[in-house]
Chains A and B, each alone.
Chain A
Amino acid sequence: MATLRLNGIRKRYPNGITALHDIDLDVVDGELIVVVGPSGCGKSTLLRTLAGLEAISDGELTINGRRVNELEPAERDIAMVFQNYALYPHMSVAGNMGYALKNRGMPKDEIRRRVAATAELLGLSELLERRPRQLSGGQRQRVAMGRAIVREPQVFLFDEPLSNLDAKLRVQMRLEIRRLQKRLGVTSVYVTHDQVEAMTLADRLVVMNAGRVEQCGTPMALYEQPATLFVASFLGSPAMNFLPVTVHRDGVVLPNGTQLALALPVAMPEGRVTNLGVRPEHLVEAASRPDTAAVLDVTVEMLEPLGADMLAYTRLSGLEEWLVVRLDGAHAAHEGQRLSLTFSLADCHVFDADGRRVSMTEGAAAKAQACQ
């Protein structure tokens, strides 16, 4: 059982590009940390430095208190699951799973016993003699997992392990990974660009952007109290709507001149430009809230019926972006229809001009700081 500690991890390439800036993170024993971010944000680089495939330029990485910066991947007692599985094509499933054990000089009987037990756990017992190319995508994925599990490592590292699977299998394997990880209780770091995967799997979520940690916390904490505009726009599907507004004496002014009588949670000087973030599910029809003072008049431009919900892409005059609204699936909206929308102040997020949250509660502020 293991704890993983990243202390000011920095990765600089010889060509001068810095891929990781001072990453601090404490992973407690048995925790599943998901690192999420757009492509190029450094999340894979971070995982590779943890694995030892990339050298750490600065900072310290410890596993169970032992500094591992200088150790070879095999000596760190970690296991990694790759995006394309990286199974050895010429070895059987059993050979793939047992290869690391064989390299450690473990006796053949012991290898066979452990491979059989792991195969049993993953439902691979029937496939042990097959070659990777004779397996389906989901089975290969499972073998890659098995190869990691059989070594009984201190830490699992997952590098977008589900992105080569079809949508249905992805959901299934996601649940399976979650179940296995809880059952085995192995500390894990999981990298993905899929925010649904991130939200559903994570004990704690680390959102990365441009080589920096934007925010870190439980999925719901990040969803409800995003610390930055980036996190707010990254988590949630469809993404949060942003209204650029100017602070006014009695509330705020929209780009089209409409005044909304909103008392912002934080006192701000008049004339200050801020971003008001509202999630699609928090926009409701004004008729249902007769007491509201903030009404947005929009025109429906496109509808996406999803069954339970209906997404309406609406146009608010003066705003370039669509305003996305999550309506009830049975809603009788049609394209071209005019809607009056409103939202409650409690559901909206206020960000200042450089993207930092200004309406943060103290508890959330403290949590967002504390990746440690």
Chain B
Amino acid sequence: MHYRRPGLDRLSHALLVLCCLLFLLPVWLAFTASTHTPGELYSQTAPLWFGEAGWDNYRHLLDGSVGGLGTDVLTLLINSTLMALGIAIGKIAISVLAAYAIVFFAFPCRRLCFWLIFITLMLPVEVRILPTFEVVADLGLLDSYAGLILPLIASATATFLLRQFYLTIPPELVEAARIDGAGPWRFLRDILLPLSKTNLAALFVIMFLYGWNQYLWPLLITNDADYLTIVVSLKRLLTSADGLVPWQDVTATAVLAMLPPIAVILLMQRYFVKGLVDSEK
């Protein structure tokens, strides 16, 4: 919609800028706070501008073990990235196959299978967390990457979204591929996956963020500092033993924790914006 009213344009821009600033404010505060010494942070209210200690604060986080955590932030970032990647890739792989089976293959109880998957949408991680913990503990997966990733790897949401997309694929395309001699795997690899590229990119971003932001599950199954994730560590830093919260560490870790998700979004954005601009259909 475009109205020929300059005043309206200016007003809506002003509103947009204001909202952006409101969203950016906490991030900005965290970033500026991470560049001050603990002393400065305790002697004044949240600083709006950079301090002198930024370099030292960040080097301290990356160099050695951070107070109370027993590990350095680089390990935390790697752990979180591995977990988020594992969850995102695993979810997509499983959902692609599940949706493929449900849409393109006629087998008994196909609808039942779909509904069973669909119903699990209504069960958040928290509801089934005790039995899941029991299973994972029995399998000896506590304090391991497999334990962090596997229980979260199935996704009803992604299966559902991919199913909806697959249903829009014209049946003639499937038939043409069949006549062209493409078996089920070839069809999946040569036709279905390339066609769902943009959907997969969007799903990857969503699932990566979902994995990255996991808190309760990693908190529950990891005791070993080597498997600690960065989101869990933030909370742990806030309850440090000697009473004074090291705000410069907390804010700097938070800033670092934002970087990988931003990188993923920027990277994937190229794909799905491209997909939106030159639609393949």
| Interface residues in chain B, defined as those with a beta carbon under 8 Å from any beta carbon in chain A | 170, 172-173, 175-182, 186, 190-191, 194-195, 197, 278-281
Q: From DSSP, what is the main secondary structure of chain B's interface residues?
A: helix
Cβ–Cβ contact B181 & A86, under 8 A: no
Contact partners of A51 in chain B: CB under 8 A: 175, 179
Question: Contacts A88-B173, A90-B280: A99 and B179 contacting too (C-beta < 8 A)?
Answer: no
Residue from A86, A87, A131, A147 having most chain B Cβ neighbours under 10 A: A86
Q: Which chain B residue shows the least CB distance to A53?
A: B175
Cβ–Cβ contact A78 & B179, under 8 A: yes
Q: Which chain B residue shows the least CB distance to A133?
A: B280
The yes or no answer to A89 lying at the interface (CB within 8 A) is: yes
Q: A80–B178 Cα gap in the complex (Å)? A: 11
Instruction: Identify 10 new A-B residue pairs, CB closer than 8 A, beyond the known A89-B280, A100-B180.
Output: A52-B179, A53-B175, A73-B178, A80-B179, A82-B172, A86-B172, A90-B194, A103-B182, A133-B279, A147-B180
Question: How many residues of A are counted as interface, with CB atoms below 8 angstroms from the partner's CB atoms?
Answer: 24
Q: Which chain B residue shows the least CB distance to A99?
A: B180
Q: A78–B176 Cα gap in the complex (Å)? A: 11
A139-171 to B contact mask, C-beta < 8 Å, 1/0:
000000001000000000000000000000000
Q: A86–B169 Cα gap in the complex (Å)? A: 10
- A-B CB contact pairs (8 Å), 16 listed: A53-B175, A74-B179, A74-B180, A74-B182, A80-B175, A82-B172, A82-B176, A83-B172, A87-B176, A88-B177, A89-B280, A90-B191, A90-B197, A100-B180, A103-B182, A104-B181
Contact partners of A78 in chain B: CB under 8 A: 179
Q: A83–B176 Cα gap in the complex (Å)? A: 11
Contact partners of B280 in chain A: CB under 8 A: 89-90, 131, 133
Q: Which chain A residue shows the least CB distance to B174?
A: A86
| Interface residues in chain A, defined as those with a beta carbon under 8 Å from any beta carbon in chain B | 51-53, 72-74, 78-80, 82-84, 86-90, 99-100, 103-104, 131, 133, 147
- Which residue of A73, A88, A89, A131 contacts B179 across the interface (Cβ within 8 Å)? A73
- Which residue of B170, B172, B178, B179 contacts A79 across the interface (Cβ within 8 Å)? B179
Q: How far is the CB of A360 from chain B (nearest CB, A)?
A: 40
Q: From DSSP, what is the main secondary structure of chain A's interface residues?
A: loop
Q: A84–B172 Cα gap in the complex (Å)? A: 8
Q: A215–B55 Cα gap in the complex (Å)? A: 90
Question: Contacts A99-B190, A103-B186, A133-B280: A86 and B178 contacting too (C-beta < 8 A)?
Answer: no
5 A-B pairs with least C-beta separation: A74-B181, A86-B172, A100-B180, A103-B181, A86-B176
Question: Contacts A99-B190, A133-B280: A86 and B182 contacting too (C-beta < 8 A)?
Answer: no
Q: A88–B177 Cα gap in the complex (Å)? A: 9
Q: Which chain B residue shows the least CB distance to A72?
A: B178
Q: A208–B178 Cα gap in the complex (Å)? A: 27
Contact partners of B175 in chain A: CB under 8 A: 51, 53, 73, 80, 82, 86
Q: How far is the CB of B199 from chain A (nearest CB, A)?
A: 13
Q: Which chain B residue shows the least CB distance to A81?
A: B176
Cβ–Cβ contact A74 & B178, under 8 A: yes
Contact partners of B182 in chain A: CB under 8 A: 74, 99, 103
Q: How far is the CB of A154 from chain B (nearest CB, A)?
A: 13
Cβ–Cβ contact B181 & A88, under 8 A: no
Residue from A51, A79, A99, A131 having most chain B Cβ neighbours under 10 A: A99
Q: How far is the CB of B201 from chain A (nearest CB, A)?
A: 14
Q: A52–B179 Cα gap in the complex (Å)? A: 8
Q: A103–B190 Cα gap in the complex (Å)? A: 10
- Which residue of B176, B195, B278, B281 contacts A80 across the interface (Cβ within 8 Å)? B176
Q: A52–B180 Cα gap in the complex (Å)? A: 12
Q: Which chain B residue shows the least CB distance to A105?
A: B181
Q: A19–B109 Cα gap in the complex (Å)? A: 26
Q: How far is the CB of B278 from chain A (nearest CB, A)?
A: 8
Q: How far is the CB of A370 from chain B (nearest CB, A)?
A: 31
Q: How far is the CB of B33 from chain A (nearest CB, A)?
A: 48
Q: Which chain B residue shows the least CB distance to A74?
A: B181
Contact partners of B186 in chain A: CB under 8 A: 103
